[in-house]
Structure 1
Amino acid sequence: MSLIEVLARMEAVAAGRAQPLATVRHRHLSERPLVFVPLTTAGEAGAPLGALVGTDREKPLLLAVPQPRDRDLRFAFLAELAETVLPYVDGYADTVELEERKETDPETGKKVPVEVELCADAPQVIVPSAAGVEYVRLLGRSMRFRRTAEQEPDTPHPAPPHVPLLGRWFTHFGERARVPGASLLLPMTGLLARHWATGQSNLEDQHLGALLAWIDPPEGEHGATAAERAETARDAAGQLLCPPAGPATDPAFDNKRLAPAMARYDAGLPGAEDEIRDLVESQLRPAWDAVWRGIDLLRALPEGARVADRWKRDRWSYTSHRDRVRAGEPPQPKRDDAITAAQKLSSRETAQAQLDAQEALDDPLVMAARRLAGEALVGEVTGVEMAYSQGKRPMPRPLVTLWTDDRPQLTEGGKLYRPLPDGKSQPAEFVAYTTDGPSGLVVRLTGGMGRGKTPEPGSVPEPGDRVCWTLFEHQPRGGPELPDPEDTPWTHGGPPAADTLPVDLPDPVTAEDFL
Structure 2
Amino acid sequence: MSLIATLARLEAVSTGRAQPTATVRHRHLSGHPLVLVPLTTAGEAGAPLGALVGTDRDAPRLLVVPQPRDRDLRFAFLADLADVVLPYLDSCAQAVEAAERTETDPETGKRVKVEVELCADAPQLIVPSRAGLDYLRLLGRSMRFRRTAEQDPETPHPAPPRIPLLGRWLTHYGERARVPGSSLLLALTEVLSRHWATGQSSLEDQHLGALLAWIDPPGDDTGAEAARRAELARDADGQLLCPPAGPATDPAFDNKLLAPAIERYDRARTALAAAEDALEADDRLAALTAAEREIRDLVESRTRPTWDAVWRGLDLLRALPEGARVEERWTRDRWSFTGHRDRVLAGEPPQPRRDDAVTAANKLATREREQARLEAQEALDDPLVMAGRRLAGEAFAGEVTDVVMAYSEGKRPSPRPLVTVRTDDRPHLAERAKVYRSLDGKPQAAEFAGYEGSPDEGEGFLVVLRIVDKMGRGKEPEPGSVPEKGDAVCFTLFEHEQRGGAKLPDPEETPWTHGGPPGEAVGEAPDTLTEEDVL
TM-score with structure 2 setting the length: 0.92
Give the structure 2 partner of residue 512 of structure 1: none
Shift of 1:499: 7.0
**Does the aligned pair in 1 maintain the 2:129–2:245 contact within 8 Å?**
no
Shift of 1:113: 2.3
**Counterpart of 1:267 in 2: which secondary structure?**
helix
Residues 311-350 of structure 1 correspond to what in structure 2 (within 5 A)? 311-350=330-369
Matched, 1:110 2:110: yes
Quote the Cα distance in structure 1 between the aligned partners of 2:101 and 2:258: 55
Which residue identity is paired with 1:177? A
Among 426, 433, 442, the alignment partner of 2:444 is 426
Shift of 1:133: 0.6
Matched, 1:466 2:485: no
Residues 31-46 of structure 1 correspond to what in structure 2 (within 5 A)? 31-46=31-46
Quote the Cα distance in structure 1 between the aligned partners of 2:375 and 2:403: 31
Cα deviation digits, residues 198-228 of structure 1 (max 9, x gap): 0111000000000000000012111000000
- Paired positions, count: 499
Quote the Cα distance in structure 2 between the aligned partners of 1:434 and 1:362: 30
Matched, 1:440 2:458: no
Among 318, 321, 325, the alignment partner of 1:306 is 325
Which residue identity is paired with 1:427? A
Quote the Cα distance in structure 2 between the aligned partners of 1:485 and 1:114: 24
**Counterpart of 2:46 in 1: which secondary structure?**
strand
Give the structure 1 partner of residue 75 of structure 2: 75
Root-mean-square deviation (CA), in Å?
1.0
Tell which deviates more after alignment, 150-159 or 20-29.
150-159
Residues 239-250 of structure 1 correspond to what in structure 2 (within 5 A)? 239-250=239-250
Shift of 1:245: 3.4
**Counterpart of 2:353 in 1: which secondary structure?**
coil
Give the structure 2 partner of residue 481 of structure 1: 503
**Does the aligned pair in 1 maintain the 2:208–2:245 contact within 8 Å?**
no
Shift of 1:112: 2.5
Matched, 1:371 2:390: yes
Larger Rg: 2
Give the structure 1 partner of residue 273 of structure 2: none
Tell which deviates more after alignment, 467-476 or 244-253.
244-253
Give the structure 1 partner of residue 476 of structure 2: 454
Runs (5+) with no aligned partner, structure 2: 269-286, 523-535
Which residue identity is paired with 2:446? A
Which residue identity is paired with 2:220? G
Cα deviation digits, residues 14-42 of structure 1 (max 9, x gap): 11110100000000000000000000000
Quote the Cα distance in structure 1 between the aligned partners of 2:12 and 2:447: 39
Give the structure 1 partner of residue 426 of structure 2: 407
Which residue identity is paired with 1:95? A
Cα deviation digits, residues 124-165 of structure 1 (max 9, x gap): 000000011100100000000000011111211110000000
Q: Percent identity?
A: 75
Residues 13-412 of structure 1 correspond to what in structure 2 (within 5 A)? 13-268=13-268, 269-270=287-288, 271-412=290-431
Quote the Cα distance in structure 1 between the aligned partners of 2:463 and 2:108: 51
**Counterpart of 1:388 in 2: which secondary structure?**
coil
Residues 7-18 of structure 1 correspond to what in structure 2 (within 5 A)? 7-18=7-18
Quote the Cα distance in structure 1 between the aligned partners of 2:87 and 2:482: 53
Quote the Cα distance in structure 1 between the aligned partners of 2:310 and 2:499: 35
Quote the Cα distance in structure 2 between the aligned partners of 1:373 and 1:118: 40
Shift of 1:102: 2.4
Shift of 1:425: 1.3
**Does the aligned pair in 1 maintain the 2:173–2:184 contact within 8 Å?**
yes
**Counterpart of 1:286 in 2: which secondary structure?**
helix
**Does the aligned pair in 1 maintain the 2:33–2:55 contact within 8 Å?**
yes
Quote the Cα distance in structure 1 between the aligned partners of 2:156 and 2:112: 50
Tell which deviates more after alignment, 369-378 or 480-489.
480-489
Quote the Cα distance in structure 1 between the aligned partners of 2:118 and 2:320: 28
Shift of 1:498: 4.6
Cα deviation digits, residues 429-449 of structure 1 (max 9, x gap): 101111131611111111111
* Alignment CA distance shift 1:455-1:330 (3 Å): same
**Counterpart of 2:257 in 1: which secondary structure?**
helix
**Counterpart of 1:117 in 2: which secondary structure?**
strand
Shift of 1:119: 0.1
TM-score with structure 1 setting the length: 0.96
Quote the Cα distance in structure 1 between the aligned partners of 2:387 and 2:202: 22
**Does the aligned pair in 1 maintain the 2:97–2:118 contact within 8 Å?**
yes
Cα deviation digits, residues 429-477 of structure 1 (max 9, x gap): 1011111316111111111111111011111111111100000011111
Cα deviation digits, residues 164-191 of structure 1 (max 9, x gap): 0000000000000000000000000001
